[in-house]
């Protein structure tokens, strides 16, 4: 019984976070306290009401927070398991994708797994993202373009839009960026010196909903 309760609380923490867990813990204590008081005084209606209310509130909290979870998260789990999932894989006329136009950018060093891990961990837990990757040949030119708001500079986009979330595999994403760079080198007959630890990838991403 205790083990089952602990597993339930751990599951609540993993899915809903510490704030919801604290609420559930308090209500669980109230529930068991009411059971104890009912055993002492079985004729007290107030304790029965407290027990019923605690159960109802627990159910409401779990239901309310489950609604807030983005259902689309389950659709992009293949990215975190074995494959990169492209946007086109989930295009559905009956269920259009709504893209948040608040676009963000992240500069990543190609072989810096810690940097990529930090980026993934900073994503919202209940959100999904559409992303593209771009090769940055000269970081100083990139910063100058950003400063001058210059959008006319030629760009080397490495992939079609793909999907990521907080549960994505850092190793897989790093491998994917490396493979796309190798393909770019072969396709344009570039020098292998592109594949260095100092190589910069610009990852552009924005949230989406289904």
Domain boundaries, the chain: 2-69, 72-209
Q: Tell me the C-alpha distance between 206 and 129, whole Å.
A: 5
Of 160 and 41, the one with more pLDDT = 160
- As a whole number, mean pLDDT of residues 5-33 equals 72
Of 159 and 38, the one with more pLDDT = 159
Is 120 in contact with 168 (CB distance < 8 Å)? yes
SS3 203: strand
- Per-residue pLDDT at 108: 93
- CB atoms near residue 113 (< 10 Å): 14
- Per-residue pLDDT at 5: 65
Tell me: pLDDT of 17 over 70.
no
Label residue 47 by pLDDT band (50, 70, 90).
Answer: confident
Task: Write out pLDDT tens, residues 87-114.
Answer: 887 765 556 677 888 899 999 998 888 8
Global pTM value: 0.60
Q: What's the token pair of residue 46?
A: 């107030």
Cα atoms found within 13 Å of the Cα of residue 163, Cβ hemisphere only: 26
- Per-residue pLDDT at 9: 67
Tell me: pLDDT of 11 over 60.
yes
8-35 burial string, b = 16+ CB within 10 Å, else e?
A: eeeebbeebeeebbebbeebeebbeebe
Whole-number percent of the chain with pLDDT over 90: 19
Q: What's the token pair of residue 49?
A: 């009401």
Q: Give the closest residue to 126 by CA, choosing from 4, 20, 6.
A: 20
């Amino acid at each position: 019984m205790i083990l089952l309760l602990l597993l339930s609380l751990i599951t609540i923490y993993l899915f809903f976070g510490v704030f919801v867990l604290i609420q559930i813990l308090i209500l669980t204590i109230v529930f068991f306290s009411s059971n104890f008081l009912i055993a002492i005084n079985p004729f007290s209606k107030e304790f029965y009401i407290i027990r019923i209310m605690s159960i109802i509130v627990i159910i409401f909290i779990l239901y309310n927070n489950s609604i807030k979870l983005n259902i689309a998260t389950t659709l992009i789990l293949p990215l975190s398991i074995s494959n990169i999932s492209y946007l086109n894989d989930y295009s559905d006329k009956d269920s259009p994708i709504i893209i948040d136009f608040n676009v963000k950018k992240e500069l990543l060093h190609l072989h810096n797994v810690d940097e990529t891990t930090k980026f993934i961990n900073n994503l919202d837990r209940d959100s999904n993202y559409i992303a593209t990757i771009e090769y940055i040949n000269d970081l100083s030119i990139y910063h100058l373009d950003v400063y001058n708001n210059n959008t006319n500079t030629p760009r080397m986009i490495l992939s079609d839009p793909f999907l990521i979330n907080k549960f994505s595999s850092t190793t897989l994403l790093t491998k994917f960026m490396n493979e796309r760079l190798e393909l770019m080198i072969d396709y344009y007959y570039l020098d292998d010196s592109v594949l260095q630890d100092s190589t910069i990838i610009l990852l552009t991403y924005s949230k989406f909903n289904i």
